[in-house]
Amino acid sequence: MLRYTDYKWRKFEEFLMISDQYTYLFLNTITILGPLALSFDKKVAFYKSWKNFGISMIVTSTIYILWDIWFTKINVWAFNPKYVIGSWIASLPLEEYLFFIIIPYACLFIYACLKAYLPNFSFKKSMKPAMAILLACSLWAIVLNPTHLYTTVTFGFLFITLAVLWATGNTQNLSHIFLAWIIALIPMAYVNGVLTGKPVLIYNNAQNLGIRIGTIPMEDFFYNMVYMLWMILIYEFLNKKISKNTSNNI
């Protein structure tokens, strides 16, 4: 006969197994709650920028999802079926597609808040040295680890992006972008910490530097930086275009 305590323990184990399936979905949900609720703040009024966010997110996320599918297929990383609800599209769990909507929203919201509350903030004096260090570190990572695909692709994109911005002088938004990235590291430490700690996302260490901040591969932080650079540059281009059209119509 099954004892009551055994029955309760079995039910608890079943609950844990079910709740595990919602781990990634839970992370997505708690990430979006704050930024979404605060999007109606009068000073930031981020809800007015949803259209431009949508366009910039779709363009950037499409590239990243294709990158994600490719890396999943060639075993640079893999998703643990234990921690997802079980709906898969092109080798990726449904939660991963939600990730590329929710995380960009949260990151762009941070950037918009900084622009609204700290419009004159600037790293102007240290911008070129900071960019030079990032360019040098990116080149170092690529040259010394040419066979580590996650490393070379991530730092390759970062190097090309920063080099183009430096060459064209398109650096006016970089102070706010870099500060937004630094602030975004705080929630990222939790979300990516859970993703890599359980792990929801399993990395093939032969394809990265093997350097981890806690459980998070170092490349993840710069993977996010590249995304923020691309998305925000598109977002600001769209904002500038709207401002120009508005001024022309006055």
Question: Each residue of 3-36: pLDDT tens digit?
Answer: 545 545 454 444 444 588 999 999 999 999 999 9
Count of C-beta atoms within a 10 Å radius of residue 117: 11
Percent of the chain beyond pLDDT 90? 86
Q: Name every residue whose Cβ is closer than 8 Å to that of residue 132 and which is 6 or more positions away in sequence.
A: none
Q: Given the structure tokens 């993840």, which residue do they identify?
A: 220
pLDDT tens digits, one per residue of 89-98:
999 999 999 9
Residues in the chain: 250
Looking at 55-64, 102-111, 163-172, 241-250, which range is the least confident one? 241-250
Its sign, for the CA torsion 118, 104, 33, 192, is negative
Tokens at 46, concatenated: 């981020």
Closest CA to 234 of 58, 11, 110: 58
CB atoms within 10 A of CB 191: 20
pTM reported for the whole predicted model: 0.89
Max Cα separation, the chain?
Answer: 83
pLDDT at 16: 42
The tokens describing 75, both together, are 């075993």
Question: Quick one: what percent of the chain has pLDDT higher than 70?
Answer: 89
Note whether 198 and 23 are within 8 A (CB): yes
pLDDT at 140 over 70: yes
**Mean pLDDT in the chain?**
91
Residue 77 in contact with residue 204, Cβ under 8 Å? yes
- Please tell me the predicted confidence (pLDDT) of residue 192: 96
Q: What is the pLDDT of residue 241?
A: 77
What are the contacts of 173-178 at 24+ separation with CB within 8 A? 173/232, 173/233, 173/236, 174/123, 174/127, 174/131, 175/121, 175/122, 175/123, 175/124, 175/127, 176/111, 176/114, 176/115, 176/118, 176/121, 177/111, 177/228, 177/229, 177/232, 178/123, 178/130
Q: What average pLDDT does range 112-126 have in this prediction?
A: 92
- Cα–Cα distance measured from residue 151 to residue 13, given in angstroms and rounded to the nearest whole number: 39
* pLDDT average, residue stretch 134-140: 97
Q: Look up residue 182 and give its amino acid.
A: I
Compute CA 85 distance to the chain's CA centroid, rounded to the nearest angstrom: 21
Cα gap 223→31, rounded to integer Å: 18
Is the pLDDT reported for residue 242 higher than 90?
Answer: no
Confidence of residue 167 (pLDDT cuts 50, 70, 90): very high
At residue 69, does pLDDT exceed 80?
yes
